[in-house]
Amino acid sequence: MKESLILVDEHDVAIGTAEKIDTHRKGLLHRAFSLFIYDESIKKILLQKRAKNKYHSGGLWTNACCSHPRKGEELLDAVCRRVKDELGISVPDSTYEEKDLWECNKFTYRKDYGKYIEHEIDHVFIWRVDKSAVQLIPNKNEVDDLLWVDMYDLDDWMTINPEEFTAWFFPAYEIFINDLLSDPTMICSPISPALYDVIQKNKSEVQASLKTNE
């Protein structure tokens, strides 16, 4: 089934729609989201390893779920739909009542993968969960592996092997961490100076691609 994405201008105002593959072949700016699933009590986040057959970034690690809202679909509805499709879990009603799922910020990035170009305004969401209560059933067409990882261990991993992560994960992760730093239980930042440099390097690459396209 063909899927229509929401095209936007640089201010994230919807200006039309286009078919998904055509959008990525032409590098059209469109709306997207990245979801971080986080267990606050143990300071772990869920990572997804993208299926190798994905049309780009296959086999790379990234945040728990990332995708696009469809034509006429609200962002939060798209988040809930894709979490179910990719991870086999539903967002319970109590999540909204307790304000455990929220959008924290957004960013623009562009990455040329050869045949396809990602050019997105990416809205970053956080879903705070109890890991022990989450029963994951990954969709093998979308996901090769899932991993709960301590954020301080992730710092080392991203610093030493940044090539194992998707391009958008670096700016999205920085937004995620900046939001968490407002939490008084977060005693120190899980981003070391070394990882900060890696994140800035990767951000500059996708931003340079944006300038090249102007």
Tell me, yes or no, if 214 is annotated catalytic. Answer: no
Nearest to 62 by CA among 30, 99, 37, 81: 37
The ranges of the chain with pLDDT < 50 are: none
Q: Give residue 210's pLDDT.
A: 64
Residue 108: the pLDDT is 96
Residue 144 is predicted with a pLDDT of 97
Question: SS3 string of 121-146?
Answer: EEEEEEEECCHHHCCCCCCCCCEEEE
The predicted model scores a pTM of 0.92
Say which CATH number the domain at 206 has.
3.90.79.10
What is the rounded distance in angstroms from the CA atom of residue 17 to the CA atom of residue 63?
26
Comparing CA positions, the residue from 10, 204, 42 lying closest to residue 120 is 10
Q: What is the pLDDT of residues 82-94, one digit of tens each?
A: 999 999 999 988 7
Total domains in the fold of the chain:
1
Q: Which of 65, 66, 80, 86 is catalytic?
A: 66
Marked catalytic residue, from 86, 118, 120, 174: 120
Tokens of 208: 């340079």
pLDDT digits (tens, 9 = 90+) for 195-204: 999 999 998 8
CA distance 15 to 23: 13
Known catalytic residue: 120? yes
What is the extent of the structural domain holding 21? 4-213
